[in-house]
């Protein structure tokens, strides 16, 4: 199956600073690259995603960038706020390839210090 590595595993930032989380994957057939946010005691929810025909996507304070050649994609959060504190997961997938065995990154715990 896909080998997915996510770094860092923990990240502390001051409120207002930026945060970057990187996800590296092994399957060159991967073509869908989502990021999920899981607040304490809640279910994971998609916050942003990108497909392989696009290099970058932005939604207000969050953005995702993709480097298919190097097989990694990154989550960028600018002007961080305390409500950004959560665990973030990446889960690249080869959508449409006929198999949807899915491997998540182990997660990044982001703490935003007021």
Partner 1 sequence: EAQVTQNPRYLITVTGKKLTVTCSQNMNHEYMSWYRQDPGLGLRQIYYSMNVEVTDKGDVPEGYKVSRKEKRNFPLILESPSPNQTSLYFCASSLRGGKLFFGSGTQLSVL
Binding site for partner 1 (CB under 8 A): 1, 32, 34, 36, 43-46, 49, 89, 91, 93-96, 99-107
Q: Which tokens hold the place of 63? A: 């953005």
Closest to partner 1 by CB, 20 vs 32, is 32
Task: Please compute Rg for the chain using Cα positions.
Answer: 14
Closest contact distance (angstroms) between CB of 51 and partner 1 is 9
Beta strand ranges found along 54-97 (DSSP E): 56-59, 62-67, 72-77, 86-90
Report whether 8 contacts 21 (CB < 8 A): yes
Closest contact distance (angstroms) between CB of 77 and partner 1 is 19
Closest to partner 1 by CB, 14 vs 101, is 101
Closest contact distance (angstroms) between CB of 19 and partner 1 is 18
Closest to partner 1 by CB, 1 vs 114, is 1
Rounding to the nearest 10 degrees, give the CA dihedral for residues 54, 51, 48, 67: -60
């Amino acid at each position: 199956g896909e080998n997915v590595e996510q770094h860092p595993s923990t990240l502390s930032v001051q409120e207002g600073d930026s945060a970057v989380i990187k996800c590296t994957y092994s399957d060159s057939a991967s073509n869908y690259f989502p990021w999920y946010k899981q607040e304490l005691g809640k279910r994971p929810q998609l916050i942003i995603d990108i497909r392989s025909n696009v290099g970058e996507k932005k939604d207000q304070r969050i953005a995702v960038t993709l480097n298919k050649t190097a097989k990694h994609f990154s989550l960028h959060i600018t002007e961080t706020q305390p409500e950004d504190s959560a665990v973030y997961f990446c889960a690249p997938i080869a959508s449409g390839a006929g198999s949807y065995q899915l491997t998540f990154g182990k997660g990044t715990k982001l703490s935003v210090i007021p």
